[in-house]
Amino acid sequence: MKSTNKRLVLGLAVVIAVVYFLFPVFVQAGTFFNVGWTGVAIKGYDPIAYFTEKMPVKGDSDFEYEWNGAKWRFASARNLEMFKSGPEKYAPQYGGYCAYGVANGYLVKIEPEAWTVYEGRLYLNYSLKVREQWKADIPGNIQKADVNWPKLKEEK
């Protein structure tokens, strides 16, 4: 292979690696989830457990389901089946980004331990401290986040 072709292939490989490892977002046909480089939503935590166990529970790769371009993990086959029956009901709002961050116009990572279920919807936050700020005015924060979310998806 000529050195020009080798440089082109190497350059392309570097670009692919940068995109793969540095952009923690998956966008496909209207979907937009905070999935990290593994493609796994909520850092591998079970979205159903927030509703049923009232706490974050790590999912198991044996109970994995792909929905809207993201891998979702569950603690049990029962939870997996519940999610399959209505993923929109259980998936976190704002693509799994920090809800308070979205309310303030930013896409911010989350910690699975910083969560709130409000009016049947799961909201995740950056930290427990940020969750307290979120909880100080959940309806107002949701209103702001609902306005910001479409713009943030477009910008990304």
Cβ partners under 8 Å of residue 11, min gap 6? none
Q: Give just the sign of the alpha carbon dihedral 47, 51, 52, 53.
A: positive
Amino acid letter, residue 145: A
Cβ(93)–Cβ(123) below 8 Å: yes
Per-residue pLDDT, 4:
56
Per-residue pLDDT, 21:
37
pLDDT along the chain (156 residues), means of 10: 56 43 40 82 97 98 95 98 97 97 96 98 98 98 97 86
Cβ(134)–Cβ(99) below 8 Å: yes
Question: Which pTM value belongs to this model?
Answer: 0.80
